[in-house]
Structure 1
Amino acid sequence: MSEWWREKPTRPIPVEGGLRARSQRGDIARMWWSRRFLDVLESLGMGGRLERGKRYARAGQVLSLSLSTSIAVAQVQGSRPRPYRVRIGVKAFTSADWAEVEQALAGQALFLAKLLAGDMPQDIEAVFADVGLRLFPDNFQELSMDCSCPDWEVPCKHLAAACYLLAESFDADPFQILAWRGRGRQELLDNLRALRDRASAAEPDDDGEPLSALLDTFWGSATAPSSMPPAPIATTAPDALLDELDPLPVTMRGRPLAEWLRPAYRAMASEEESP
C-alpha cells in the first residue's frame, strides 16, 4: 500500500490560459499595501512555505481567483486531474466599525483626497488602529486558509500561489483590500463624500453660525430696504459748471466773464431751494 506523503513529488499538470503572475522575477507585489499583505503572512510564520507557491503563480497554475466580503476563492491546478479549491478568509468589519473608520478618514483632508483619487494613503493603517481595528489580519483569529489538496501544511503551494496572485490584484486595485474587509469601493467613496459635504455645510461663518443656516436669509437681507443705510445725497456748487469750461476769452472791466456769471448762478440756485 502506497503512502502519498512518502511518494516522490510529481509535476503539476500544465495549464493553458491560467492566471499568471505579472512579476516573473524577484519579489511579487510592487505597491506598499500588497507588500504589506505578504509581510503579514510572513510574520505569521508562513514565509518559507509561501515561496513554494511562487513557481505555481508564475507558471499560471491558478485557474481562477475571486474576492468578495471576507473571502477569496481560487481554483489551482496541481498534479491531479481535478483542480484544488482554495479559500482564504478574513474577518469582515461590522457596519458600526466602518462608520467609525469613515468618520476618521473624512476628518483627514489628505487621506480623503487620496482615497477619492483612487490611491491608498501610506498611513491608513494608523486610522484603523485609532478605532481599535487592524486593516491587515495579523493573527489566526482573523485569518483562515484551507485547500482541498492532501497536503496538511498551511499554506500549501496551492494556497501560496493564490496568496501571491491576490497580492497582485491588490497592486492593481487597493480598494479590494477594503472590500475584503467588508466595504466596497463605491459605497466607501459615497459615504466619504456625504461626510465631507455635511462637514462643509456645517462650517461656521465669522459669527459662529453654520453657513447652511444663513442660506435662507442671505438674498433677502441683501435686498431689504430697511437693512441698508440711506445713501448720502451728493451736493454740487451751483457755479461748478463754470469750472468745467475752458476760460472764455472775454473780459469785462478787467475781470473774466466767468467771474461776473458766478453770482447769477448762485442766485438762481437759492431761488430754487427756497419754499
Structure 2
Amino acid sequence: MSEDEWWRDAPTRTIKVENGLRARSTRGDIARTWWSRRFIEVLEELGLGGRLERGKRYARQGQVVSMSLSPSIVVATVQGSRPAPYRVKIGVKAFTADQWAQVEQALAGRALYLAKLLAGEMPTGIEEVFEGIGLRLFPNSFAEFSMECSCPDWEVPCKHLAATCYLLAESFDTDPFEILAWRGRSRQDLLDSLRARRGGPAVAPEPGPDPLPDDPAAFWAAGSVPPAPAPPAPGAPGAVLDRLDPLPVLLRGRPLTEYLRPAYRAFAEEA
C-alpha cells in the first residue's frame, strides 16, 4: 500500500463528540421554515440530495464541533473517525456594494417586508425582489458555491460538508438575517440602510457635560432650578396614536391602530 493510501487502513468508527452542535430535529426533515427548506431544495436540485442524506445523521448525532458564519463563507469543524476534526468551508458569492444598494432601494418601499424581517420572518416575496434586479438570493449553480473539507473523501459534499449544510439550514430557521449576512450584508448594516432610505429619524448625539464656570467658587454654588413641566393637556383617548407614524402592521387586513383605540377608550373610562 502506498503512502498516499494510508487513510484506507485508518479506523472507520466515528469518534463521538460531547457537547457538539446537534440538530434540533430528530426525525424527518430538518429545515422548518420555507426559506431554510428552500436552501436545502437548492442543494437537492443541484444533484446533491443523496449525498446530503449521509450528513443528516452526523448533524443529529452532534458531530459538528463548531460552526461560524461570516460574509460569503461558513467555517466549521466536524469530528469524523480521525482524532483531529475535519475542517469544513462552504463559500458563496457575496453581492457587491452596488448590488446591495439596489436591493435596499427595492426593499425600502415595502414596509411590510421590513416588519416581517424584524419579527424574525423572511417575507415570502423577497426572492422576487432580488430577481427583479437580476440577482438570486439562493444560489442556483455550482459556480456560486465553493465547498472544501480536509477529509480524504473525494466526493463533494462529503458527510462532513452535508452535516454542516443541515445545521446551516437550522440556523437560517432561527435567524433569516443570516442568509442575508452570508450574501454580504449584516443585520445592522441592512436595517440602518433601510431606515435611512425610508427617512427614519436620525439619532441625536447624547449631550455632553456642562462647561466649568470661570470662577472656581461658582462650581459649588447652586444653579437655578428649572420650572416644573406643565401637566399635559387633556385630550381624546387614543390621541397619541394620531401623533405616531402609521404602523406598517396589519391584523386581519386592518391597521393595528384600529384595534388599539378601543383599549385606550376603556383605560380612559376606568381612570
TM-score between both structures, scaled by the size of structure 2: 0.70
Q: Give the one of 142, 162, 165 matched to 1:160.
A: 162
CA contact (8 A) 1:115 1:189 kept: no
In structure 2, the partner of 1:48 is 50
CA contact (8 A) 1:57 1:162 kept: yes
How far 1:4 sits from its partner (Å)? 6.1
In structure 2, the partner of 1:195 is 197
How far 1:123 sits from its partner (Å)? 1.1
Q: Return closer, same or farther for 1:37/1:114 CA change in 2, 3 Å cut-off.
A: same
In structure 2, the partner of 1:139 is 141
- Kindly indicate which of the two structures has a greater share of residues assigned to helix: 1
- Listed one character per residue, the Cα deviations across residues 56-110 of structure 1 (whole Å, up to 9, x for unaligned) are 1010100000000000000000000111000000000011000000000111232
In structure 1, the partner of 2:151 is 149
| Residue range with higher mean Cα deviation, 31-40 or 8-17 | 8-17
CA contact (8 A) 2:11 2:81 kept: no
Mapped to 2, the partners of 1:144 and 1:55 lie a distance apart of: 23
**Aligned partner of residue 177 in structure 1, secondary structure:** helix
In structure 1, the partner of 2:97 is 95
CA contact (8 A) 2:117 2:176 kept: no
Which residues of structure 1 form unaligned runs of 5+? 199-275
In structure 2, the partner of 1:30 is 32
Q: Give the one of 58, 68, 71 matched to 2:70.
A: 68
Say whether residues 1:13 and 2:3 are aligned partners: no
In structure 1, the partner of 2:87 is 85
Mapped to 1, the partners of 2:69 and 2:114 lie a distance apart of: 25
In structure 2, the partner of 1:123 is 125
In structure 2, the partner of 1:59 is 61
Mapped to 1, the partners of 2:126 and 2:159 lie a distance apart of: 31
In structure 1, the partner of 2:106 is 104
For the aligned residue pairs, the C-alpha RMSD in angstroms reads 1.8
How far 1:141 sits from its partner (Å)? 1.3
**Aligned partner of residue 178 in structure 1, secondary structure:** helix
**Aligned partner of residue 54 in structure 1, secondary structure:** helix
Whichever residue aligns with residue 16 of structure 2, its letter is P
- Listed one character per residue, the Cα deviations across residues 163-218 of structure 1 (whole Å, up to 9, x for unaligned) are 000110111100000000000001111111111127xxxxxxxxxxxxxxxxxxxx
Overall identity of the aligned pairs, in %: 77
**Aligned partner of residue 36 in structure 2, secondary structure:** helix
Mapped to 2, the partners of 1:6 and 1:64 lie a distance apart of: 26
Mapped to 1, the partners of 2:180 and 2:111 lie a distance apart of: 19
Mapped to 1, the partners of 2:87 and 2:155 lie a distance apart of: 15
Size of the aligned set, in residue pairs, is: 199
Whichever residue aligns with residue 57 of structure 1, its letter is A
How far 1:7 sits from its partner (Å)? 6.1
How far 1:150 sits from its partner (Å)? 0.4
TM-score between both structures, scaled by the size of structure 1: 0.69
| Residue range with higher mean Cα deviation, 152-161 or 2-11 | 2-11
Which residues of structure 2 form unaligned runs of 5+? 201-271
Whichever residue aligns with residue 179 of structure 2, its letter is I
In structure 2, the partner of 1:186 is 188
